[in-house]
Chains A and B, each alone.
Chain A
Amino acid sequence: MEILQEKALLSIKGKIGKILLVLAGLLLGILFSYCNDKEGPSGFAHVLMLDNSFSPQLMKVPESATIEFINVGGNPHNAISADGSWSTEKTFGNLVMNRGQKTKVTYPQKGVYPYYCSFHATKDAKQGMVGTVVVGDVSYETSKTGKKIEPITKWTGVTRNVPKQYPTIQNAVDAANPGDLVLVEKGIYREQVTVTTPYLIIRGVSRNDVILDGEFVRANGIMVMGADGVAIENMTARNYQLNGFFWTSLKGYRGSYLTAYNNGDYGIYAFDSVDGLLENSYASGSPDSGFYIGQCYPCNAVIRDVTAEYNALGYSGTNSGGELYIIRSLWKNNIVGLAPNSLDRELLPPERETTIVANLILDNNYKDAPIGALEYPSFGNGILIPGGRGNRIERNLIGNHVNNGIGLLLNLDDNVWLAHDNIVKDNIIFNSGRADISLSGPMSKGNCFSGNKFRTTLPPLLEELSSCNGIRFPQGSDLSFVFGAASMMIDAADGDFPHSSYKKQPIPVSQLEMPEELFTKSEPAYNVFEKNKPNLANVDLPQEANEILKQIGANKSSSLGILATIQPFTFGSFLYHWIGFLLPYMMFITWVSMSLYDINNRTDLGTNALPISLFVVFLPFIGAFYYLIFGKSTLPKWFRYTIVFGSLVIFMALISFTGIIIARGIGGKQLE
């Protein structure tokens, strides 16, 4: 008998060694795949196929980059290079791509590739549904002459008046030379304007009475495509299927005193563009974000004195950052105030080094927002950092959010993006449903929290144990918010979430006109960042904050901490959230306490009780699993198998369920 037990013990020791090795290998594998830098550029670009246009029409990518083409329109589409070198037919396997279908094309050779949709354009890629991919560092000029134009820093003195000289804005823009001013008189302009001439100034005489109207049938209000230095001032764009004002693939942009409302993708939008300023502007009613600066590093850009409301996201910037300042602005009544994020579906991940200072961020719990399934899990938060790094969040006033004031968490795309090295300092956060500040898992490094005024943090003691200058203890692995967000994804995948259409959003009140003195100062957008880089020490909260500051404390919030349910409440999401979050804890406690109880009752283990206890307790799950299944435990077999495999099966079922639902339900964006 004793010999048998001795053997069993020896075999336990041998197996423990093997299991340890396997476990270490597994962990290293996971971590290594996370840290491993792939060859070629990280992330991929994406081009939407709409009815009937590509967006963006011009896409610049580095050599060996990949572009994903996604049909979000109702018609069948494809993309074929004019020179025949690539097509979506080759990668997708079918000339016809229907709504929701997507395919990835990789570009190993540098060059300029005009392309077309064979159903909706001419084969020379000049008329109809056409686009251009520019790969690598090749010269490509969109201007009329096709030649590179030296930067123009001053107005040429030429004014082109719409409609006195030119009947449409597009006519005036086409006629203009770099450095000219296009001046638009009051009126409603039912057109979409594409700008390919650099250094223009496009100005309305009245912000509220110069209106570009897409009537829900045109794509973009004003799209500046590859043309550097274009400034747009003092006008409104509404009811476009995609964007109000849009700069793409260029250097130098400025948007001043602009209003964009009820546009179907973004309000005011800069993509793959650097050196910019968006100021004194207003964006509402967009199902993605009001303001967006994406895919740039360093962006060298400033957003200041703007207001965003009734959007899905007030500000969103995917894979942007580096000298990117968002200051003194008002973000209210969206589903989330600001959400700079990392995703694989655009180039240059991760999002990093965005500076968010002195903003007023309120009530971002807007249930009638025009959101899609992809946006819904960010509901009810002031600032979310999904997978962002090295962002500075300072001196903001953030209040009345049903979930979190500030939330740091992972973002899930083709890769897992974790939030690291973010600095959260000196903010005032009040009346949040879950937590004023939430740091969420599954892992993170270097996020720090100091000098904030708040009532609740998750995990607790965040400022004490993850302070910016003091001691550190790991805090970045709380999974309650991760499971909460996942529960919302599951609701969203079923279409079970509150949302409305961008076409039905509130029409904004009259907005502040551009001051008279700026009419005499006409400047193209040259060297914009250098001239407008903020001195952060002098940046104060917007005026509206003073009233709010007086009222804080009047309405107190309470929070159930990690057990607080995500809002909006549904029974399904509540069950999922609690079971998903608590099950691993229950499994751990059950397995370990039963193992220790058994070890304590055994007299045959002798001095081996110590290493076996260590193994069971401090190698989470693996240790106790191994002991209960292979460790000659004296507990009855039916009991051991029930607590181990029973709970494992339930947990695995939950994880597979999540995986299937999310893979099926959360794809690209949906456009109406």
Chain B
Amino acid sequence: MENPGMLSLLVSFYGYFIPFILMSVWIPLSLIDLLKNEELSGKIGWTFAIILIPLFGAAAYLLLKSKHIQSQIKNAVVYGGFGILVFIFILSNVLKV
């Protein structure tokens, strides 16, 4: 029985928390934006979507509807987040974590 490599353990640890990290960043960002967003219709619907559809609700709001978050930050946390998620997914299947 081999010891699991350092990379596997690191990926397993970091990867586990990535969805939590994304949720805890995306949800408050979208809610703050939603509060300030005068033009948005169906705010109650969006609020439900953001808090009840894990990851995708908040991501959809940030990409499609947000007005008050700098595009740089949006790109970093949403596209960057998805990128890391995909990267971890590939790594964990290659490494069989």
Contacts and interface: CB of A to CB of B under 8 A. Distances in A.
Say if A and B assemble together: yes
Interface of A: 27-28, 31-32, 34-35, 37, 350, 352-353, 389-390, 418, 420-421, 441-446, 459, 471-478, 585, 588-589, 592-593, 596-597, 599-600, 607, 609-611, 613-614, 617-618, 620
Contacts of A418: 9
Given A585-B20, A600-B70, A617-B77, A35 B93 contact: no
B47 to A, nearest CB: 17
Nearest to A597: B32
A27 B10 CA distance: 8
Contacts of A593: 24-25, 28-29
A320 to B, nearest CB: 13
Interface in B23-46: 24-25, 28-29, 32
A462 to B, nearest CB: 12
Contact of B12 (A28, A352, A445, A614): A445
A601 B6 CA distance: 39
Nearest to B11: A474
Interface of B: 1, 3-6, 8-17, 20-21, 24-25, 28-29, 32, 68-70, 72-73, 75-77, 80-81, 84, 88-89, 92-93, 95-97
A473 B6 contact: no
A60 to B, nearest CB: 23
A617 B80 contact: yes
A592 B24 contact: yes
Nearest to A612: B76
A474 B13 contact: yes
A620 B50 CA distance: 23
A620 B25 CA distance: 12
A470 to B, nearest CB: 10
Contact of A477 (B1, B3, B12, B89): B12
A610 B73 contact: yes
Given A34-B9, A474-B88, A477-B12, A446 B97 contact: yes
Contacts of A443: 9, 12-13
Contact of A473 (B72, B73, B89): B89
Nearest to A34: B9
Nearest to A614: B76
A3 B8 CA distance: 44
B92 A473 contact: yes
B96 to A, nearest CB: 6
A477 B18 CA distance: 11
Contacts of B15: 473-474
Nearest to B88: A474
Q: Which 3 A-B pairs have the closest CB atoms?
A: A474-B15, A477-B16, A613-B76
A631 to B, nearest CB: 14
9 contacts: A445-B8, A474-B12, A476-B97, A585-B20, A588-B20, A610-B73, A610-B76, A617-B77, A617-B80
